[in-house]
Amino acid sequence: MAIHPTAIVKSGAKLVDDAAVDEYAYIGSMAKIGRGCVIRHHATVDGRTTLGEGNIVHPYAYIGGLTHDLKYKGGEPGLEIGSGNVFREFCTVHASTNPESSTIIGSGNTFLAYSHVAHDCVVGNYVVMSAQAALGGHVEVGDYANIGWSAGIHQFCRVGQYAMVGACSKVVQDVPPYMLADGNPSKVRYINILNLQRNGFSKAQINDAKRIFKIFYACGLNRQQAMDTLINEKVDSSLRENVLTFISTSTRGFI
């Protein structure tokens, strides 16, 4: 195990043999660091945090910090992180508010410099958060979503899978799957076509995503009318079901 002599690894911390901890890093007493993880110099992994395999925590990132939520009443809330994530410089990820729960982050995600994931968020897999983007408490982000530079996502909002939030956007309602939202306040502008192309969606599937966009944003229909129309459309069933499920379970409303 490569632990630099200047690093602080508190008694009780659990590190798999090939984990690496660089100069002046700090590992808290309840942290669990998985195989192949690298904690760079001056980075911190604190609290009841579990890191899967192959995560990289860059200098000055703070993983597992105490929630900002003023409802916190003590105890040891959790943070559960999957494998293959990258946390760049000064990124912050907070534990949940209640000891019985955890903030959840999946695998293969990239969190760029100064990005922030607040308490009780649920982040899927292969998400990219650009520099200075921030998720408020209880935000949910679906697989392969992109959060642009300096975007802010309001508490309890959701960003659907393969969706994108543009740079400097303010999101106060849910962003449906496959859509691109931008502005302050954000509006859905079109489908997130580049993301779909990069992730192997067929031309037919992309055309179906365009049709879904038109139903909800270009036909003058209300929410229920749009959902009823989509149910009867001959579009890719997985795209249709993902959108219908997402919208029908929205509590804040969707953009």
Residues identified as active-site: 119-120, 137
Determine the 3-state secondary structure of 248 from DSSP: helix
Q: Which residues contact 251 (CB under 8 A, 6 or more apart)?
A: 156
Q: How many residues does the chain have?
A: 255
Q: Which amino acid, residue 104?
A: I
| Residue 176, φ and ψ in degrees, nearest 5 | -65, 155
Name every residue whose Cβ is closer than 8 Å to that of residue 109 and which is 6 or more positions away in sequence. 85, 86, 123, 124, 125, 126, 127, 128, 129
From edge to edge, which strands make up the β-sheet containing 152-153? 8-9, 26-27, 44-45, 62-65, 92-94, 116-117, 134-135, 152-153, 170-171
- The DSSP letter of residue 174 is B
Contact 99, 71 (CB under 8 A): no
Q: What angle do CA 169, 147, 191 make, to 5 degrees?
A: 85
Backbone angles phi, psi at 40, to 5 degrees: -75, 170
At position 202, the amino acid (one-letter code) is S
